[in-house]
Amino acid sequence: MHSEEFDIGLGNNDSSIRTSAKNDYVSFWNNCAKSLSWFEPWTETLQWNPPFARWFVGGKINASYNTLDIHQDSKSEKPAILWEGEDGTDRKITYKEMFVEVKKLANVLKSLGVKKGDRVTIYLPMIPELPISMLACARIGAIHTVVFSGFSSKSLSDRVEDSQSKIIITADGGYRKGKIINLKEIVDDSASSVQFVKNVIVYQRTGQKIQLNEKDLLWHEVMQNSSEECDAEILDSTDSLYILYTSGTTGKPKGVLHGIGGYLTHLYSTYKWAFDIKDTDVYFCTADIGWVTGHSYVVYGPLLHGATQVMYEGAPDHPDSSRMWDIIQKYGVTIFYTTPTALRMLMKFGDDIPNSFNLSTLRLLGTVGEPINPEVWKWYFNVIGKKKCPIIDTWWQTETGGMLISPLPGIETIPLKPGSATLPIPGLDIEVVDETGNEVESETKGSLIIKTPWPGMLLGLWKDAEKYKDVYWSKFESLYYPGDYAIKDSDGYLWLLGRSDDVLKVAGHRIGTAELESSIVSHNDVAESAVCGIPDEVKGESIIAFVMLKENVSTSEEQLRSELRETIRTQIGPIATPSQFYFVNKLPKTRSGKIMRRLLKAIAKNETIGDVSTLEDGAAVNEIQSAFQELQKNIENQKK
Ligand code: WTA
Over the stretch 360-403, which tens digit does the pLDDT of each residue have?
Answer: 999 999 999 999 999 999 999 999 999 999 999 999 999 999 99
Q: Which is nearest to 582 in space by CA: 599, 571, 119?
A: 599
Q: Give the integer Cα–Cα distance in Å for 628 and 589.
A: 11
Amino acid at 484: D
Residue 618 pLDDT grade (very low, low, confident, very high; cuts 50, 70, 90): very low
How many A from CA of 546 to the centre of ligand 1? Answer: 26
How confident is the model over 501-520, as a mean pLDDT?
91
Total-model pTM: 0.94
Q: Say how many Å lie between the CA of residue 483 and the centre of ligand 1.
A: 10
- Alpha-carbon distance of 78 to 278, in angstroms, equals 13
For 424, which DSSP code? B
Give the nearest ligand 1 atom to 499 CA.
Answer: 19
Instruction: Tell me how far apart the terminal alpha carbons of the chain are, to the nearest angstrom.
Output: 37
Residue 478 has a CB neighbour count (10 Å cut-off) of: 10
Distances in Å between the alpha carbon of 5 and those of 214, 420, 443?
A: 62, 10, 17
**Residue 616: pLDDT band by 50, 70, 90 thresholds?**
very low
| CATH 3.30.300.30 intervals, the chain | 506-639
In CATH, which superfamily holds the domain spanning 506-639?
ANL, C-terminal domain (3.30.300.30)
Atom of ligand 1 nearest to the CA of 510: 20
Three-state DSSP class for residue 361:
coil
Nearest to 407 by CA among 417, 398, 375: 417
* Whether the CB of 400 sits within 6 Å of ligand 1: no
CA distance 3 to 419: 10
Q: What is the whole-number distance in angstroms between the Cα of residue 363 and the centre of ligand 1?
A: 24
Is there an atom of ligand 1 within 6 Å of 475 CB? Answer: no
Minimal CA–CA distance to 511: which of 541, 486, 472, 484?
A: 541
Burial tier of 5 (Cβ tally within 10 Å: 0-12, 13-18, 19+): middle
DSSP reduced 3-state for 316: coil
DSSP H/E element including 135: helix 129-140
Measured torsion, CA atoms of residues 584, 589, 591, 594, in degrees rounded to the nearest 10 = -140
User: From the CB of residue 382, how many other CB atoms can be counted at a distance below 10 Å?
Assistant: 11
Question: Is residue 25 within 8 Å of 452, Cβ to Cβ?
Answer: yes
Q: How far away, in angstroms, is 509 Cα from ligand 1 center? A: 9
* C-alpha triplet 480, 265, 246: angle, nearest 5°: 45
The DSSP result for 218-257, as a single string, is EHHHHHHT--S--PPP-EETTSEEEEEEE--SSSSPEEEE
Query: Could you tell me the pLDDT band of residue 604, with boundaries at 50, 70 and 90?
Result: confident
What is the per-residue pLDDT across 218-234, written as a single tens digit (0 to 9) for each?
999 999 999 999 999 99
Atom of ligand 1 nearest to the CA of 503: 19
Is 291 touching ligand 1 by the criterion CB < 6 Å? yes
Gap between the Cα atoms of 221 and 195, Å rounded: 24
- The alpha carbon of 293 and the centre of ligand 1 are apart by a number of angstroms equal to 10
CA 566 – CA 520 distance, rounded (Å): 10
Check if 541 has its Cβ closer than 6 Å to any atom of ligand 1.
no
Report in angstroms the alpha-carbon separations of 161 from 115, 145, 512: 18, 11, 20
From atom 10 of ligand 1, which residue's Cα is the shortest distance away? Answer: 397
**Is the CB of residue 397 below 6 angstroms from any atom belonging to ligand 1?**
yes
Give CA–CA dist 424/427, Å, rounded: 8
Select from 393, 496, 500 the residue to mutate for testing ligand 1; criterion: most ligand atoms less than 8 Å from CB: 496
Sequence-distant (6+) residues with CB within 8 A of 224 are none
Distance separating alpha carbons of residues 405 and 501, to the nearest angstrom: 20
> How many other C-beta atoms can be found within 10 angstroms of the C-beta atom of residue 548?
16
Peptide bond into 51 cis (omega under 30): yes
Of 320-334, 492-506, 533-547, 597-611, which range is least confident?
Answer: 597-611
**pLDDT of 453-500, one tens digit each?**
999 999 999 999 999 999 999 999 999 999 999 999 999 999 999 998
Most ligand 1 atoms within 8 A of CB, residue of 505, 539, 541, 575 to mutate: 505
Dihedral sign computed on CA atoms, order 613, 619, 623, 626: negative
pLDDT at 623: 62
Residue at 17: amino acid letter: I
Residue nearest to atom 23 of ligand 1 (CA): 369
Which residue is closest in CA terms to ligand 1's atom 12?
A: 369
Looking from the CA of residue 406, the nearest atom of ligand 1 is 15
Is the pLDDT at 608 greater than 80? The verdict is no
Kindly give, in sequence order, each residue whose CB lies less than 8 Å from that of residue 591, ignoring residues fewer than 6 positions away.
618, 619
Calpha distance 332→282 (Å, rounded): 7
Instruction: State yes or no: pLDDT of 359 exceeds 60.
Output: yes
499 lines ligand 1 (CB under 6 A): yes
How does residue 247 score in pLDDT terms, banded at 50, 70 and 90? confident
Ligand 1 atom nearest to 497, measured from its CA: 3
Distance of CA 398 from the midpoint of ligand 1 (Å): 8
The alpha carbon of 420 and the centre of ligand 1 are apart by a number of angstroms equal to 13
- How much distance in Å is there from the Cα of 355 to the middle of ligand 1? 30
Mean pLDDT, the chain, integer: 93
Q: Which CATH number fits domain 15-43+50-470: 1.10.510.10, 3.40.50.12780, 3.30.2020.30, 3.40.50.720?
A: 3.40.50.12780
331 CB-contact burial (10 Å; exposed 0-12 / middle 13-18 / buried 19+): buried
Q: How far does CA 612 lie from the centroid of its chain?
A: 34
Q: Report the distance separating Cα 444 and Cα 245, nearest Å.
A: 33
**∠ CA 484-275-341, rounded to 5°:** 45
Percent of the chain with pLDDT over 90: 85
How many angstroms does the Cα of residue 396 sit away from the middle of ligand 1?
5
Q: What is the mean pLDDT of residues 243-251?
A: 83
Substitution site in 288, 510, 541 for ligand 1 pocket (most atoms within 8 Å of beta carbon):
510
DSSP three-state, residue 624: helix
Q: What number does the ligand 1 atom closest to the CA of 394 have?
A: 15
Mutate which of 146, 395, 504 for ligand 1 pocket (most atoms within 8 A of beta carbon): 395
The DSSP secondary structure of 262-296, one letter per residue, reads HHHHHHHHHHHHHH---TT-EEEE---TTSHHHII
Q: 492: CA distance to ligand 1 center in Å? A: 20
The C-alpha atoms of residue 527 and residue 511 are separated, in whole angstroms, by: 22
pLDDT, tens only, 530-578: 999 999 999 999 999 999 999 999 999 999 999 999 999 999 999 999 9
Asked if residue 368 has its Cβ within 6 Å of ligand 1, the reply is yes
Nearest to 141 by CA among 115, 160, 167, 123: 115
Within the chain, all domains assigned CATH 3.40.50.12780 are found at 15-43+50-470
- Taking the centre of ligand 1 as the mean of its atom positions, its distance from the CA of residue 397, in whole angstroms, is 5
Confidence check: pLDDT of 615 > 60: no
Residue-level length of the chain: 640
341 lines ligand 1 (CB under 6 A): no
* Cβ count near 115 (within 10 Å): 12
